[in-house]
Amino acid sequence: MTSAPFADDMQMSLIYDHFFCITHPGHLVNAPSASATSAEQAKRRKYENLDSSFIFVPFGVETLGPWGPEARALFKELSKRVIEFTGDLRA
């Protein structure tokens, strides 16, 4: 688990727990990232009692590549912040 200041006022910290889970072959066609989604939900339950001054994001990635929805959302938010900070649209 990793923590870093995240909110604009620096009063809240982002905590993320990154992990890999096994891709189930049957999920690749019908439900890509199903394993990562399920594992992210389990991690969210595990850390549900964290203090409200933390923003918790489970960051799940499957062994064959699909990312969980919360991992994708966090990456998108971090990318947006880098672009805003640097002004570089390729960031």
Structural domain contains residue 80:
yes
Q: How many structural domains does the chain have?
A: 1
**Please, what's the largest Cα pairwise distance for the chain?**
45
Contacts 24+ apart (CB under 8 A), 21-30: 21/60, 21/61, 21/62, 21/63, 22/62, 22/63, 23/62, 23/63, 23/64, 23/65, 23/66, 28/64, 28/66
Q: How confident is the model at residue 84 (pLDDT cuts 50, 70, 90)?
A: very high
| Measured distance CA(43)–CA(89) in Å, rounded | 33
For 10, the token pair is: 């620096």
Do strands 54-62 and 13-21 pair parallel, antiparallel, or not at all (unpaired)?
Answer: parallel
Structural domain contains residue 15:
yes
Structural domain contains residue 33:
yes
**Residue 74: pLDDT over 90:** yes
Q: What is the domain extent for residue 29?
A: 2-86
Structural domain contains residue 40:
yes
Structural domain contains residue 66:
yes
pTM above 0.95, yes or no: no
Structural domain contains residue 91:
no
Structural domain contains residue 56:
yes
| pLDDT per residue as tens digits for the range 27-66 | 666 777 888 999 999 999 999 999 888 889 999 999 888 8
Structural domain contains residue 39:
yes
